[in-house]
Structure formats: structure tokens, C-alpha cells
């Protein structure tokens, strides 16, 4: 696979991942962090960093809106639930947060 095709495939996979996370609003960020060591906010930070590496200016909030598909405050109001004691305990034990 040549570099251009690889980049296109990676971009398509990323877009699919972001769309999947947008539709799975039942999956909370703390669950993602506990199970996979990353969440939507991590993706937003990585997106912003990649843009800045290429000379593009992008705020964290703008990157979050790209990943969440709406302003973070709106997503949080519509979809975020209070983390339960088990989730919090697992998060506290996690090494990657």
C-alpha cells in the first residue's frame, strides 16, 4: 500500500470511529477510559495536536466539536451521566488518565 492510500484508509477508519462514537452516546467517556485507556476527549486532543503539527490553528473546543458532532457542553447535557462508584474506582486504578 502506498503512503497516499494508507493515509486515505487511516482517515476513513478515523471518520468511522468518530461516527460510531457519536451514535453510541450510551457509552460514557469514563467507560472508554476504563476499558481502552482513551476517550472522546483524548481523540479531540490528538486531533488538535495533529492539526497543529501541520500548521493549522484549532482550539480544544473546536476539536471536541468535531469529535462529538456538537459543542461539548451540549453533548454533556444530553448524554453524560454521573459516574457510578464502580466506574470511579476503576478509573482511579487506571494508569492511563
Cα–Cα distances in angstroms (integers) from residue 35 to residues 27, 47, 51, 55, 76, in the given order: 11, 21, 27, 33, 20
Kindly indicate whether the domain formed by 3-81 is annotated with CATH number 1.20.140.10: no
The x, y and z cell numbers of residue 17, run together, are 470511529
- Ordered by start, the domain boundaries in the chain are 3-81
Q: Global pTM? A: 0.86
pLDDT digits (tens, 9 = 90+) for 49-90: 999 999 999 999 999 999 999 999 999 999 999 988 888 888
Contact 47, 67 (CB under 8 A): yes
Measured N-to-C along each axis, helices 72-79 and 60-68 cross at an angle, to the nearest 10 degrees, of 50
Amino acid at each position: 500500500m502506498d503512503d497516499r492510500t494508507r493515509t486515505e484508509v487511516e482517515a476513513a477508519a478515523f471518520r468511522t470511529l468518530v461516527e460510531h462514537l457519536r451514535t453510541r452516546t450510551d457509552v460514557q467517556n469514563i467507560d472508554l477510559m476504563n476499558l481502552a485507556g482513551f476517550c472522546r476527549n483524548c481523540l479531540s486532543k490528538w486531533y488538535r495536536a495533529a492539526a497543529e503539527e501541520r500548521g493549522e490553528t484549532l482550539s480544544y473546543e473546536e476539536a471536541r466539536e468535531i469529535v462529538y458532532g456538537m459543542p461539548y457542553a451540549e453533548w454533556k447535557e444530553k448524554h453524560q451521566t454521573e459516574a457510578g462508584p464502580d466506574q470511579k474506582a476503576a478509573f482511579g486504578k487506571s494508569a492511563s488518565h
